Amino acid sequence: MSVDPKVTFSEGAVPGTDPGTVPLRARVRSLGPSMTRSVRAVAETVAADPAGCSRLTVSALAARTGTSEATVVRAARLLGYPGYRDLRLALAALAAQQESGAAPALAADIAVDDPIADVVAKLAHEEAQTLADTAAGLDLTALAAAVTALATARRIDIYGVGASALVGQDLAQKLLRIGLVAHAHGDPHLAVTGAVQLRPGDAAVAITHSGATGDVIDPLRTAFERGATTIALTGRPNAPVSHYADLVLATSAARETRLRPAAMSSRTSQLLVVDCLFVAVAQQTYESAAPALAASYEALAPRRSARSPRP
């Protein structure tokens, strides 16, 4: 399969989306690492308090954030709005939704002394928001192209380390169950060793929330140079991993707190994209996938039943 070279998006753009379809908080999380400190201060302020900021003039918001009017306008444009006036209108609409209950207010961080009921409620809210943000921001054109690349690949290599390695293993075992040849590599040496064997018609998937993990970028670069179709699943669409990706699938940027490492929420969004890939590949290859899935289920059935104790 041939795939057009990766499109390079303008600074601050979220691939395949527009400001009206991606939640403001998701955009701020995704673009925050690429923003300057002053621009990020403006972006985080408006995301945290849309109602209050919607009532501020550009000079008032600049004063509140300790920045300049030019920085406020730049932040608005990086978030996808033509100017500050358009951002204020969007903030007012978001504030109205939150007041009516149509859009949830931001959940508070988990505190050290939170009762278990609050921990459950806050985590459930955050996980649900992460999934919603990822679904809203997912580039469906890139997703469809990635599905076709996986469905028609001779061989699929998947790279990830740490928590992302677990996600890679999940994708590999799903693809294996429908008859595809898929290998998940958590060891960077084995990943590069496998990547040099790839060629056009193969596919490689890199899973890295930061988009800057060298142990994941190196094998993806090798696969890219060998002509395989390369796919990056990342929370930072403009990160270094995208330089070697034919297709970029963006996940919601994780909100890290003292008691909740970024890996926890990033894994949630990664698993959603993995499930989307798997189900769509199974649909596209249904004639071969269905019997393969049935065969694997039948083969594993005895292992799911209770075994009689030895005499």
Give the contacts of 269 (CB within 8 A, at least 6 positions apart).
130, 131, 133, 134, 235, 251, 252, 254
> pLDDT band at 307, cuts 50/70/90?
low
Please give the backbone phi and psi of residue 135, each rounded to the nearest 5 degrees, phi first: -65, -40
Q: Report d(CA 267, CA 251) in Å as an integer.
A: 9
| 3 has pLDDT over 60 | no
CATH 3.40.50.10490 segments of the chain: 137-300
- Architecture of the domain made up of 137-300: 3-Layer(aba) Sandwich (3.40)
User: 27 near 108, Cβ under 8 Å?
Assistant: no
Least Cα distance to 255 among 266, 270, 267, 271 occurs for: 266
Note the pLDDT tens digit of each residue in 16-67: 444 444 567 777 877 777 788 899 899 989 988 888 999 999 999 999 999 9
Q: Report d(CA 47, CA 287) in Å as an integer.
A: 47
What CA–CA distances, in Å, run from 135 to 81, 129, 174, 267? 21, 10, 20, 14
Average pLDDT over every residue of 107-125: 79
In 65-78, which positions are buried (b, 16+ CB within 10 angstroms) versus exposed (e)?
Answer: bebeeebbbbbbbb
> pLDDT band at 171, cuts 50/70/90?
very high
In 95-113, which positions are buried (b, 16+ CB within 10 angstroms) versus exposed (e)?
Answer: beeeeeeeeeeeeeebeee
Tell me the two tokens of residue 33.
């690492």
| DSSP assignments along 244-260, one per residue | G-SEEEE-PPP--BTTB
The pLDDT of residue 282 is 96
Domain 24-106 has CATH 1.10.510.10: no
| 99 has pLDDT over 80 | no
Instruction: Indicate if the alpha-carbon torsion angle 205, 24, 258, 40 is positive or negative.
Output: positive
β 203-207/156-159 pair status: parallel
Please give the backbone phi and psi of residue 204, each rounded to the nearest 5 degrees, phi first: -135, 135
Note the pLDDT tens digit of each residue in 236-250: 888 999 999 999 999
Q: Specify the range with the lowest mean pLDDT, choosing from 200-204, 231-235, 260-264, 267-271.
A: 260-264
CATH 1.10.10.10 segments of the chain: 24-106
Q: Report d(CA 243, CA 177) in Å as an integer.
A: 31
| Residue 206: DSSP 8-state | E
The pLDDT of residue 1 is 43
This prediction's pTM = 0.70
Average pLDDT over every residue of 159-174: 95
Q: What percent of the chain has pLDDT over 90?
A: 50
Which H or E element spans position 58?
A: helix 58-65
3-state secondary structure 179-202: CCCEEEECCHHHHHHHHCCCCECE
| DSSP assignments along 217-239, one per residue | HHHHHHHHHTT-EEEEEES-TTS
Q: How many CB atoms lie within 10 A of CB 187?
A: 13
User: 266 near 163, Cβ under 8 Å?
Assistant: yes
First-to-final CA distance of the chain: 56
Q: Specify the range with the lowest mean pLDDT, choosing from 26-40, 66-80, 138-152.
A: 26-40
The pLDDT of residue 296 is 87
| 303 has pLDDT over 70 | yes
Pick the more confident residue, 200 or 94.
Answer: 200
What type of residue is 40?
A: R
Q: Report d(CA 200, CA 2) in Å as an integer.
A: 8
> pLDDT band at 11, cuts 50/70/90?
very low
The pLDDT of residue 18 is 44
The pLDDT of residue 204 is 98
The pLDDT of residue 297 is 85
Task: Look over the chain and give the mean of its residue pLDDT values, rounded to a whole number.
Answer: 84
The pLDDT of residue 261 is 64
> pLDDT band at 146, cuts 50/70/90?
very high
Tell me the two tokens of residue 161.
């380390």
Q: In what order do the strands lie in the sheet with 182-185?
A: 182-185, 156-159, 203-207, 229-234, 247-250
